[in-house]
Amino acid sequence: MTYTLEGATGTWEIVVGLEVHAQVISQSKLFSGASTLFGGEPNTQVSLIDAGFPGMLPVINHECVAQAIRTGLGLKAHINLESRFDRKNYFYADLPQGYQISQFTHPIVGSGVVEIELSDGSTRQIGVTRLHLEQDAGKLLHDQDPKRSFVDLNRAGVALMEIVSEPDIRSPEEAGAYLRKMRQILRYLGTCDGNMDEGSMRADVNVSVRKAGEPFRTRCEIKNVNSIRFVTQAIEIEAMRQIEVWESGGSVDQETRLFDPARGETRSLRSKEDAHDYRYFPDPDLLPLVVEQAWVDELKAHLPELPDDKRARFQTEYGITAYDSGVLVAEQAMADFYESVAKGRDGKMTAAWMTGDFFAALNRTGKAIEESPVGADKLGGMLDLITDGTINGKIAKEVLETMFETGEAPLEIVERKGLRQVTDTGAIEAAADEIIAANQDKVEQYLGGKDKLFGFFVGQVMKATQGKANPAIVNDILKKKIHG
Amino acid sequence: MMLTDLTIAQAAEGLRKRDFTAAELTNAHVKAIDALNGRLNAYITVTADQAKEAAAQADKTLSAGDAPTLTGIPLGIKDLFCTKGVRTTAASRILGDFTPTYESTVTANLLANGAVFVGKTNLDEFAMGSTNLTSAFGVVENPWRRNGDDTPLVPGGSSGGSAAAVAAHLAMGATGTDTGGSIRQPAAYCGIVGLKPTYGRCSRWGTIAFASSLDQAGPMTRTVEDAAIMLAAMAGHDAKDSTSANIAVPDYRAACGRSLKGLRIGVPAEYRAPGMSAELQAVWDRGVAMLREAGCEIVDVSLPHTKYGLATYYIIAPAEASSNLARYDGVRFGDRREGASLNELYERTRHDGFGEEVRRRVLVGTYVLSAGYYDAYYLRAQKIRTLIQRDFTQAFESVDVLLTPTAPTAAFGHNEKPEDPVQMYLNDVFTVPASMAGQPALSVPVSLDSTGLPLGLQLIGRHFDEETLIAVGSALEKAADFTARPTFRAGAAA
Distance (Å, whole) CA B55 – CA B257: 31
Q: Does B276 have pLDDT greater than 90?
A: no
A261 & A152 share domain: yes
Q: What pLDDT is attached to residue B352?
A: 96
Q: Which domain holds residue A66?
A: 5-298
Distance (Å, whole) CA B67 – CA B307: 48
Cis upstream peptide for B158 (omega within 30°): yes
Q: What does the pLDDT look like over A56-111, one tens digit per residue? A: 999 999 999 999 999 999 999 999 999 999 999 999 999 999 999 999 999 999 99
Minimum-distance CB partner of B213 among A57, A98, A284: A284
Indicate the pLDDT class of residue A466, thresholds 50, 70 and 90. confident
Closest Cα to residue B239, out of A304, A410, A466, A31?
A31
Which DSSP string do the residues of B326-347 spell out, in sequence order? GG-SSSSSS-----SSHHHHHH
Angle at alpha carbon of residue B348, lines to B342 and B353, rounded to 5°: 125
Q: Does B390 have pLDDT greater than 80?
A: yes
A12: which strand partners? A5
Instruction: Count up the domains in chain B and report the number.
Output: 1
Closest Cα to residue B301, out of B433, B473, B198?
B433
Q: What does the pLDDT look like over A9-26, one tens digit per residue? A: 999 999 999 999 999 999
Q: What pLDDT is attached to residue B273?
A: 74
**Cα–Cα separations (whole angstroms), residue A97 to B109, B157, B209, B330:** 26, 27, 12, 12
Q: With contact defined as beta carbons under 8 Å apart, do B458 and B476 qualify?
A: no
- Please indicate, yes or no, if residue B315 is contained in any of the structural domains: no
Q: What pLDDT is attached to residue B74?
A: 98
Distance (Å, whole) CA A178 – CA A180: 6
Q: Does A232 have pLDDT greater than 60?
A: yes
Residues with Cβ within 8 Å of B452's Cβ and at least 6 positions away in sequence, in order, are B144, B145, B146, B147, B484
**Cα–Cα separations (whole angstroms), residue B283 to A137, B298, B300, B447:** 55, 16, 17, 7
A203 & A163 share domain: yes
Q: Which domain holds residue B230?
A: 3-260
Classify strands B216-221 and B116-121 as parallel, antiparallel or unpaired.
unpaired
B297: which strand partners? B264
Distance (Å, whole) CA B129 – CA B114: 31
Mean pLDDT, rounded, for A279-299 = 98
Residue of A nearest to B330 (CA): A93
Which DSSP string do the residues of A204-239 spell out, in sequence order? EEEEEEE-TTPPP---EEEEEE-SHHHHHHHHHHHH
Q: Does A156 have pLDDT greater than 70?
A: yes
Q: Given an 8 Å threshold on Cβ–Cβ distance, is B208 in contact with A284?
A: no
- Please indicate, yes or no, if residue B82 is contained in any of the structural domains: yes
Q: With contact defined as beta carbons under 8 Å apart, do B294 and B156 qualify?
A: no
Residue of A nearest to B369 (CA): A279
Residues with Cβ within 8 Å of B324's Cβ and at least 6 positions away in sequence, in order, are B209, B210, B211, B212
Q: What 8-state DSSP symbol labels residue B244?
A: S
**Cα–Cα separations (whole angstroms), residue A383 to A30, A348, A349:** 47, 11, 8
Residues with Cβ within 8 Å of A214's Cβ and at least 6 positions away in sequence, in order, are none
Instruction: Count up the domains in chain A and report the number.
Output: 3
**Cα–Cα separations (whole angstroms), residue B113 to B83, B106, B172, B235, B307:** 15, 11, 15, 12, 41
**Cα–Cα separations (whole angstroms), residue B62 to B3, B16, B21, B53, B176:** 17, 7, 9, 14, 27
Query: Mutual orientation of helices A322-329 and A332-342 as an angle, nearest 10°?
Result: 120
* B320 at interface of A, judged by CB pairs closer than 8 A: yes
Range A413-446 burial, b when 16+ CB lie within 10 A, else e: bbeeeebebbeeeeebbebbeebbeebeebbeeb
- Please indicate, yes or no, if residue B191 is contained in any of the structural domains: yes
Minimum-distance CB partner of B212 among A54, A151, A285: A285
Assess whether B78 carries a catalytic annotation: yes
Q: Given an 8 Å threshold on Cβ–Cβ distance, is B319 in contact with A93?
A: no
User: For position B163, which CATH number holds?
Assistant: 3.90.1300.10
A371 & A283 share domain: no
Minimum-distance CB partner of A97 among B100, B104, B327: B327
Mean pLDDT, rounded, for A381-410 = 92
Which DSSP string do the residues of A358-421 spell out, in sequence order? IHHHHHHHT--GGG-SS-HHHHHHHHHHHHTTSS-HHHHHHHHHHHHHH---HHHHHHHHT---
A364 & A437 share domain: no
Per CB-CB distance under 8 Å, the chain A contacts of B342 are: 92-93
A219 & A273 share domain: yes
Distance (Å, whole) CA B483 – CA B445: 9
Q: Does B494 have pLDDT greater than 50?
A: no
Minimum-distance CB partner of A99 among B104, B319, B326: B326
Residue at a domain's end among A298, A333, A366:
A298
User: For position A455, which CATH number holds?
Assistant: 1.10.10.410
Classify strands A139-141 and A123-135 as parallel, antiparallel or unpaired.
unpaired
Q: What pLDDT is attached to residue B275?
A: 76
A268 & A222 share domain: yes
Q: What 8-state DSSP symbol labels residue B1?
A: -
Query: Mutual orientation of helices A453-464 and A471-483 as an angle, nearest 10°?
Result: 120
* A141 at interface of B, judged by CB pairs closer than 8 A: no
Mean pLDDT, rounded, for A472-482 = 87
Distance (Å, whole) CA B298 – CA B295: 9
Q: Does B155 have pLDDT greater than 90?
A: yes
Distance (Å, whole) CA A391 – CA A470: 8
Q: What does the pLDDT look like over A310-343, one tens digit per residue? A: 999 999 999 999 999 999 999 999 999 999 999 9
Q: With contact defined as beta carbons under 8 Å apart, do B448 and B484 qualify?
A: yes
Assess whether B60 carries a catalytic annotation: no
Q: Does A272 have pLDDT greater than 80?
A: no
The runs of H, that is alpha helices, within B295-415 are: 309-324, 342-353, 356-369, 380-398
Residues with Cβ within 8 Å of A389's Cβ and at least 6 positions away in sequence, in order, are A421, A423, A470
Closest Cα to residue A46, out of A94, A98, A108, A92?
A94
* Strands in B58-157 per DSSP E: 74-78, 116-121
Minimum-distance CB partner of B326 among A51, A54, A91: A91
Range B87-99 burial, b when 16+ CB lie within 10 A, else e: bbbbbbbbbeebe
Q: What does the pLDDT look like over B67-105, one tens digit per residue? A: 999 999 999 999 999 999 999 999 999 999 999 999 999
Please give the mean pLDDT across all residues of chain A: 93
Mean pLDDT, rounded, for B401-422 = 90
Query: Mutual orientation of helices A332-342 and A376-387 as an angle, nearest 10°?
Result: 40
To the nearest whole Å, the CA of B323 is away from the closest chain A CA by: 7
Distance (Å, whole) CA B179 – CA B175: 14
Residue type, B392: F
Per CB-CB distance under 8 Å, the chain A contacts of B208 are: 54-55
Q: What does the pLDDT look like over B464-486, one tens digit per residue? A: 999 999 999 999 999 999 999 99
Q: What pLDDT is attached to residue A417?
A: 87
A178 & A221 share domain: yes
Residue at a domain's end among A280, A298, A316:
A298
Q: In this predicted structure, which of A140-149, B247-256, B283-292 has the lowest mean pLDDT?
A: A140-149
Residue type, A327: V
* B213 at interface of A, judged by CB pairs closer than 8 A: yes
Q: What pLDDT is attached to residue A1?
A: 56
Mean pLDDT, rounded, for A140-145 = 90
Q: Given an 8 Å threshold on Cβ–Cβ distance, is B327 in contact with A279?
A: no
Distance (Å, whole) CA B225 – CA B230: 9
Q: Given an 8 Å threshold on Cβ–Cβ distance, is A89 in contact with B239?
A: no
- Please indicate, yes or no, if residue B283 is contained in any of the structural domains: no
Residue at a domain's end among A365, A394, A417:
A417
Residues with Cβ within 8 Å of A137's Cβ and at least 6 positions away in sequence, in order, are A92, A94, A95, A100, A155, A156
Q: With contact defined as beta carbons under 8 Å apart, do A350 and A327 qualify?
A: no
Indicate the pLDDT class of residue A222, thresholds 50, 70 and 90. very high
Q: What pLDDT is attached to residue B402?
A: 98
Per CB-CB distance under 8 Å, the chain B contacts of A97 are: 326-327
- H-run or E-run covering B298: strand B297-301
- Diameter over CA atoms, chain B: 70
Which DSSP string do the residues of A26-55 spell out, in sequence order? -SB-SSSS-B--TTPSTTSS--TTTTT-TT
A413 & A429 share domain: no
* A274 at interface of B, judged by CB pairs closer than 8 A: no
Mean pLDDT, rounded, for A438-457 = 88
A289 & A315 share domain: no
Per CB-CB distance under 8 Å, the chain B contacts of A53 are: 100, 102, 327, 332-333
Which residues 343-372 of chain A have a CB within 8 Å of chain B?
A: none
Assess whether B84 carries a catalytic annotation: no
Q: Does B270 have pLDDT greater than 90?
A: yes
**In this predicted model, which residue has the larger pLDDT, A436 or A245?**
A245
Per CB-CB distance under 8 Å, the chain B contacts of A96 are: 327, 331-332
Distance (Å, whole) CA A137 – CA A97: 10
**Cα–Cα separations (whole angstroms), residue A201 to A22, A174, A183, A194:** 5, 18, 8, 5
Which residues 299-318 of chain A have a CB within 8 Å of chain B?
A: none
DSSP-derived 3-state class of residue A11: strand
A311 & A433 share domain: no
Per CB-CB distance under 8 Å, the chain B contacts of A99 are: 323, 326
Q: With contact defined as beta carbons under 8 Å apart, do A231 and A253 qualify?
A: no
Mean pLDDT, rounded, for B308-316 = 96
Mean pLDDT, rounded, for A273-286 = 91
Q: What pLDDT is attached to residue B106?
A: 98
- Please indicate, yes or no, if residue B256 is contained in any of the structural domains: yes
Distance (Å, whole) CA B406 – CA B99: 35
